A and B are shown apart, each in its own frame.
Chain A
């Protein structure tokens, strides 16, 4: 890395000469701010999975340093994902074609947006299943399943922590998306693979989306 070009740091050398001319605001040396950059991204631009896996591994160990238990760790991962969901909701709605550029008004519309548009953006494929809880006592629960979460691909969970699923990070993204759209929810990630030999999807993860009561209430009201 040391031999590569000097990285354009926002606090770099240009800050000194800029400070005198513009108080409090530092412009990049080429004069281009985030407002000069387009919001649309070409479809082929993808990130390296290796670098993501490396970064994500670091994120997990960073979160792990300051926690007391597995639940706490999952909560931290969830919190890291939350703002991403909020931002992606707006960005992806903007990128939708003008005709379908509408805010999701119903739970189903929102979940379909998440399982198709959001999933495609993050993992370049849709989620594997979207189900509603069949239990009549919990009409507010929905399940999104992913057979092989991309974030877990290079994560091996030690035996004594088998409750942990690092896809809690993705759950946080989903939760951010739901919260942002006005459907406050709790989203948790659960491993459903039984760890048996010859299993088709040993890493299968279910994201349990539990909407708050007011969402279900509004849904019933709007449905009429």
Chain B
């Protein structure tokens, strides 16, 4: 039930990253990556950039859905008109606890259509806020986003949908 979200610029440089846990089904919004795997998130997400480049010319949609999987990590992508990539790593908790409620909930079920839709809504909301950052005349392409307001907005979108 943990998520790692990253925005990757046009020269494959990270612009923004944020880690959070689910707030659905009684989650407390705290990411619970296994300590020995947590540092791998950045690698996994960056490795999936190749897959983004494979599919980005196949269709004009911005939301590319699930594009990669690495063991129990699922990566969804969103690409903007100016080739900035939003990547979300979705790490469900161990699937052994399969109560009926958990099996349909978004955090526990990374491949269901509901999850796909929820991630899309999350991306669309982040996209809007990202665009507002970009429209700032003092922002040039590829700059890191440091704004705490933006971080707060991403966190709010994560709580709302995931």
Q: Could you list which residues of chain A lie within 8 angstroms of chain B, going by C-beta atoms?
A: 25, 33-35, 37, 39, 83, 86-87, 89-91, 93-94, 101-105, 109, 180-182, 218, 222
Contact = CB atoms under 8 A, between A and B. Distances in A.
Given A34-B135, A35-B150, A90 B82 contact: yes
Given A39-B132, A87-B135, A105-B57, A180 B148 contact: no
B147 to A, nearest CB: 8
Contact of A91 (B10, B60, B131, B141): B131
B34 interface: no
Nearest to B10: A180
B72 interface: no
Contacts of B149: 33, 35
Interface string B47-82: 000000000110111100000000000000001111
Nearest to A98: B124
B105 interface: no
Q: Interface of chain A, helix or strand or loop or mixed?
A: helix
Interface residues of B, number: 28
A37 B60 CA distance: 28
A83 B140 CA distance: 7
Contacts of A104: 60, 81
Contacts, number: 70
Interface string B143-159: 00001111001000000
B134 A90 contact: yes
B148 A25 contact: yes
A103 B60 contact: yes
B121 interface: no
B134 to A, nearest CB: 6
A102 B133 contact: no
A103 B81 contact: yes
B156 to A, nearest CB: 11
B128 interface: yes
A213 to B, nearest CB: 17
A150 to B, nearest CB: 21
A87 B57 CA distance: 21
Contacts of A94: 127-128, 131
Nearest to A218: B57
Nearest to B83: A182
Contacts of A25: 147-148
Given A102-B60, A222-B57, A181 B82 contact: yes
Contacts of A89: 81-82
Given A33-B149, A180-B82, A181-B81, A102 B62 contact: yes
16 contacts: A33-B147, A35-B132, A86-B82, A89-B81, A90-B80, A90-B134, A91-B131, A91-B135, A94-B131, A102-B59, A102-B62, A103-B60, A105-B57, A180-B83, A181-B82, A181-B83
Contacts of B79: 103
Contacts of B81: 89-90, 93, 103-104, 180-181
A37 B134 contact: no
A16 to B, nearest CB: 20
